[in-house]
Amino acid sequence: MSRPIVATIDTSALRHNLAVARQAAPRSHVWSVVKANAYGHGIARVWQSLSETDGFALLNLEEAILLRESGWNKPILLLEGFFHADELPILDRYRLTTSVHSNWQIQALAKAKLSAPLDIYLKMNSGMNRLGFQPALVQQVWHKLKTLPNVGEITLMAHFAEAESNEGVTAPMARINQAAEGLNCPRSLANSAATLWHSHTHYDWVRPGIILYGASPSGDWQDVASSGLRPAMTLNGEIIGVQSLRRGDGVGYGARYRASDEQRIGIVACGYADGYPRHAPTGTPVWVDGVRTQIVGAVSMDMITVDLTPCQQAGIGTQVELWGNNIKIDEVAKAAGTVGYELMCALAPRVPVNVV
């Protein structure tokens, strides 16, 4: 590694966070959500650390096949289902569970030639208005699916748009309960937020995602600070240059920051081309030489500048944590007006990754 930046994936943190999810929903099975290349952590790198899960949930056939060919033989759920009818033989070959959210998928299942029935997650639109059947149609669709020889076990699936709030699941749960009245089928409803905070939504399968990687589903670390979650990804750089500013000196593109007095700043080998948020403003926290400080000026493609006022011993070669155990990814995301999910997923391919 020539450029001093590295992302470190802590496999013990992943195992620990899965245990936290299980503790939160002790009577439920767990789908560990590894979509988006395991939220940027790398599905090939991390799946074995989550192998105590009951199943993996994802989007891409390629990632499902990777898991199967890597030796995973327990359930895999395609959260968005199949996208074209000609994918059904692949689902059959690799024994994948698929969501069904549209009539054309039901028609495709009816016509497909499969070696054995596929388990189905019947997706209901509980108010988020993305994928899924309207509540009034759930009974009709369920009974239709039950008639198809290609359909195995049917699980009712829904998603919550506002599970981060105390009342955010109330109206969706009322719709779900009304739609499912009389249906003898398992349910999978709870995302990360509902897994942590709404035990009455847990049912048969929960689907934790962001909490497996040690960040908050609400975007506010304080909401999960007492949960025991541990960050699974740390992004580290180091100072590659130091500048001494005089009062009024500008920093970076647009001189968005100007020194109010004499000041030392450090230049860190990390920028938006590495996945650091370009819109992170002056004041975004950073950890330098064991001290919390802040970035100053605009984030550029390959570098950020940090205030060395509280860490006078820092200089070229000093280690910097951009996010991780000391600076939570949610803090950086909040400062930049985004969420930790995006920062994890935005980690650039050019950043070396160390798995410990």
Contacts of 37 (CB under 8 A, 6+ apart): 43, 63, 345
Query: Which of the residues 94, 253, 257, 334 is marked catalytic?
Result: 253
Contact yes or no for 96/76 (Cβ under 8 A): yes
Identified catalytic residue from 35, 123, 328, 334: 35
Q: Which phi and psi angles does 173 have, rounded to 5°? A: -65, -35
CA distance 169 to 164: 9
Tell whether 173 is in a known binding site. no
Has 203 been annotated as catalytic? Answer: no
Distance CA 210, CA 217 (A): 6
Signed CA dihedral, 181, 187, 189, 195: sign only? positive
Question: For residue 274, which amino acid is it?
Answer: D
Active site residue 341: no
**Helix extents (H) in 95-159:** 103-111, 138-146
d(CA 69, CA 314): 47
- Residue 105 in contact with residue 123, Cβ under 8 Å? no
Residue 301 marked in a binding site: yes
| Residues designated as active site | 35, 253
Which residue ranges are tagged as binding site? 130, 301
Which residue ranges are tagged as binding site for substrate? 130, 301
